[in-house]
Amino acid sequence: MNQKCYAGRALCIISLSGIMLFPKSISLTTGSDPQYSQDGKSILLSANIDDEPTIIKYSIDSHDIVRLTYGIRAYDGKFTRDGSKIYYVVESKSREYTEIWTMGSNGLGKNKIIGSTNRYRRKPVYNQCNKTIYYIYSMNKSVGIGVVDENGVNEMSFFGAGDLGINSLTVSPDCKSILYSSLVAIVSQHIQDGIKHYITPWEKERYLFSDGYSYDYINFCLSSDGKNIYLHARKKGEYTKEHFFIQSYGQKETKEIGVVESGMVYGISVSPDNKKIIFLIDDGSGYNYAWKILPLPRHKERVKLLEMNIDGTGLHEIVLDPRKIIDSVKKNQQFIR
Report the candidate in 194, 142, 188 with the shortest Cα–Cα distance to residue 164. 142
Under DSSP, the state recorded for 34 is P
User: 232 in a domain, yes or no?
Assistant: yes
Written as tens digits, the pLDDT of the chain (337 aa) is 444 443 333 344 444 444 444 446 888 877 789 999 999 999 999 999 888 899 999 999 999 999 999 889 999 999 999 999 999 999 998 888 999 999 999 999 999 999 877 789 999 999 999 899 999 998 877 888 999 999 999 898 887 765 567 888 999 989 999 999 887 788 899 999 989 888 887 544 444 444 455 788 889 999 988 899 999 988 877 777 899 999 998 887 888 999 988 778 888 999 999 999 999 988 765 444 544 554 444 444 478 999 999 999 999 999 999 889 887 654 444 443 3
40 lies in some domain: yes
CA 28 and chain centroid, separation = 11
Distances (CA, A) of 75 to 33, 38, 56, 165: 9, 19, 9, 19
Instruction: Please answer whether residues 74 and 110 qualify as being in contact, where contact means their C-beta atoms are separated by less than 8 angstroms.
Output: no
Q: What is the pLDDT of residue 274?
A: 93
Distance CA 337, CA 242 (A): 44
pLDDT digits (tens, 9 = 90+) for 153-164: 989 888 776 556
Beta-carbon contacts of residue 5 (< 8 Å; ≥ 6 apart):
11, 12, 13
Q: What is the pLDDT of residues 252-280, one digit of tens each?
A: 788 899 998 877 888 899 999 999 999 99
> Per the domain annotation, does 172 fall within a domain?
yes
Domain contains 164: yes
Q: Is residue 39 assigned to a domain?
A: yes
Q: Look up the CATH number of the domain holding residue 111.
A: 2.130.10.10
In angstroms, the CA 68 to CA 238 distance is: 38
Which residue type sits at 220? F
312 found inside a domain: yes
Would you call 30 exposed, middle or buried from its count of C-beta atoms within 10 A (0-12, 13-18, 19+)?
middle
Cα–Cα distance for residue pair 269/42, rounded to 1 Å = 12
Domain that holds residue 266: 24-325
Contact in structure between 51 and 31 (CB atoms under 8 Å): no
Number of domains in the chain: 1
What does the CA dihedral 148, 122, 239, 189 come to, rounded to 10 degrees?
Answer: 0
Distance CA 24, CA 50 (A): 6
Residue 194 covered by a domain: yes
Q: Would you say residue 331 lies in a domain?
A: no
Task: Give the bridge partners for 121, in sequence order.
Answer: 137
